[in-house]
Structure 1
Amino acid sequence: MNKLIIPFILIVSLLVPGCSDDETKDVVKEINMSISSETGVMYDLFDENKTYPMECMLVMSEDNPGVWETLGFNTIEGFTYEKSHEYELRIKRTILANPPMDGSSHRYSLVRILQDKLVVEPEIPVDKEIKSEKDIAYHDLCPIDKYEINQEFIVDGNGQIFYAGGSPLPSYNMAQIYLENILDRASPDWVKFQSVPYMAVYSFVLSPLSGEIRLVRNESSSLMFKNVIPESEFTHITQSIMSGQELQYVLVLSNVYKKGLQKLEFTIKKQ
């Protein structure tokens, strides 16, 4: 009797771990994924009432062609998304056998970028009819209070740039004026205002020195200082204006169609 039971127990003990190993293996596969130049809106797993929308990527995988799905900006390891760019990626997708209770069952990592295409127009000169601020046409529902910037910068005689609080910025060629999205998530228009027509792609710059209006291309969430204040003006500020003197610059943030979104102002003060 015992001789029959012992081998059976041994067989079961050998078979069960084998089945368990098969059941707990992650499924890993390389796939192609398209990333839209436009963004979407998603909600946290625990936001059952969809109270706090979050801007995200719109993606389409080869496993589900024709269907755009939402995916968080930082979900693909090794990949940084830039708005107004359209991507074709080769990624490694891992489907977790034992996903965390409070997280996704999918993991993604970048293998390589197959295509990176800028879908907005390149920078072009301001149209001839735009000779003053009143000539700038605003987009639907604008102006809006979506963005905020530092309102004062200090420049010394050596060309070093500081925030009003005294913290230094990088060099003139690398310094940036950051755009902070301050739109209230409780706003009924929050989702609409995250779409491409309401993204600050360009800026009209009204200079207190030249009196001219220039159109510059924004970065994904900032403006390059050197684009807003060209070298000739920066040299004048560092070498010619008096200590304590202030200059006020005006920015009219504009969308991809060069329609105004919002007016912002900041000052440059000579140390």
Structure 2
Amino acid sequence: MQINNLTLIAILVTCLLFTACSDDDDPKDIVRETRMEVSSETGVMYALFDDKQEHPIECMLVKTEESPDQWVPMAFGTIEGFTYERGHEYYLSVRKTILANPPADAYNCTYSLLKILSDRLVVEPEIPVDKEITSLDDIEYQALCPFDKYAINNLYIVNSEGMIRYADGHKMPGYDAARIYIEDVLPKDNSNWVKFHSVPYMAIYSYVASPLSDEIRLVRNESSGPMFKNVVPENEYHHIVNNMTSGEEIQYVMVLANVSKLGLQKVQFSIRKE
């Protein structure tokens, strides 16, 4: 059977109309801008399929337009382009995408940062300790600890102008902005890798033993480590800058601790006067 040009055009038009109708019937992602408040404190959540809640995970706490009166747990890294720092309170503009066909093993929404509308460092009150800690021997440890999960730089060099450098010569930010970075170095082939990345093994606090003081202080670590000024308070820093002689070196000891203030691992670093 021969098909003339008019018939062929009619068939093509019908196919296009059918395709257009089919596309319109397909579900579409819903994308919109929304605002989100992020708490300076963290919470605990569980993985999507952890029905027995056996593996708690530290997470952010957020208030959204859908839950303006309730803090809702949200995993770190959920908001693309946003890095959370413990102790900071944020107000964000984010792009929320409700997926028409979400993966079976994931949530039905994705988020990406549009703008940080506000970022405020919340000054935390003194951290209470349940038992009196007068020496490092008083610290109770979490089961299976200490183990070599964390590492820090072990030498900082300070000159008479107060400039701080790493041992390799790289300059650190000024005293008020410098940080002691805590690096997670536990290899993934460790048989306890999953267990050691649950909340009880996260370094939330640090007990600090100073060579210039008899007291044991407890400081809060942010997501990447404590601020240098919290570990080495201003009076001790001034002593290092103004009173130590060239080449003199002192050593600080930190016992990393979890959210329950149980010890995880002892680390130490030295400060040398240039």
TM-score by length of 1: 0.72
2:20 equivalent among 18, 21, 24? 18
SS of equivalent to 2:13: helix
1:95 equivalent among 93, 99, 119? 99
Alpha carbons of 1:234 and 1:139: their partners in 2 closer, same or farther (altered >3 Å)? same
1:235 equivalent among 220, 235, 238? 238
Checking the alignment, whether the CA contact within 8 Å between 1:204 and 1:252 is kept in structure 2 is yes
Checking the alignment, whether the CA contact within 8 Å between 1:37 and 1:83 is kept in structure 2 is no
Worse-superposed segment, 121-130 or 237-246 = 121-130
2:189 equivalent among 161, 186, 190? 186
Per-residue deviation, 1:133: 1.1
TM-score by length of 2: 0.71
Amino acid at match of 1:250: V
Alpha carbons of 1:133 and 1:10: their partners in 2 closer, same or farther (altered >3 Å)? closer
Aligned-partner Cα distance in 2 for 1:128–1:4: 91
Per-residue deviation, 1:32: 10
1:40-98 CA-to-partner distances (Å, cap 9, x unmatched) read: 679xxxxxxxxxxxx99699x98xxxxx9997x4442353345699999986115378x
Alpha carbons of 1:57 and 1:134: their partners in 2 closer, same or farther (altered >3 Å)? closer
Aligned-partner Cα distance in 1 for 2:14–2:180: 67
1:170-198 CA-to-partner distances (Å, cap 9, x unmatched) read: 00000000000011111121111111111
1:148 equivalent among 136, 147, 151? 151
Greater fraction strand: 1
Aligned-partner Cα distance in 2 for 1:85–1:140: 30
1:242-267 CA-to-partner distances (Å, cap 9, x unmatched) read: 10010000000111111100000100
Checking the alignment, whether the CA contact within 8 Å between 2:85 and 2:222 is kept in structure 1 is no
Aligned-partner Cα distance in 1 for 2:73–2:126: 31
SS of equivalent to 2:194: helix
The match for 2:215 is 212
The match for 1:174 is 177
Amino acid at match of 2:220: R
Aligned-partner Cα distance in 2 for 1:192–1:34: 31
The match for 1:117 is none
SS of equivalent to 1:18: helix
* 1:118-129 → structure 2 map (5 Å cutoff): 123-126=126-129, 129=132
Amino acid at match of 2:183: E
- Structure 1 unpaired stretches of 5+: 43-54, 63-67, 114-120
Are residue 195 (structure 1) and residue 231 (structure 2) matched?
no
Checking the alignment, whether the CA contact within 8 Å between 2:129 and 2:261 is kept in structure 1 is no
Per-residue deviation, 1:158: 0.4
- Structure 2 unpaired stretches of 5+: 49-56, 67-71, 117-123
Percent sequence identity over matched residues? 51
Aligned-partner Cα distance in 2 for 1:266–1:7: 80
- Aligned residue pair count: 244
Aligned-partner Cα distance in 1 for 2:131–2:79: 44
Checking the alignment, whether the CA contact within 8 Å between 2:80 and 2:111 is kept in structure 1 is yes
CA RMSD of aligned residues (A): 4.2
SS of equivalent to 1:223: coil
Per-residue deviation, 1:13: 4.8
Per-residue deviation, 1:10: 4.4
Aligned-partner Cα distance in 2 for 1:32–1:191: 33
Checking the alignment, whether the CA contact within 8 Å between 1:39 and 1:194 is kept in structure 2 is no
The match for 2:226 is 223
Checking the alignment, whether the CA contact within 8 Å between 1:38 and 1:195 is kept in structure 2 is no
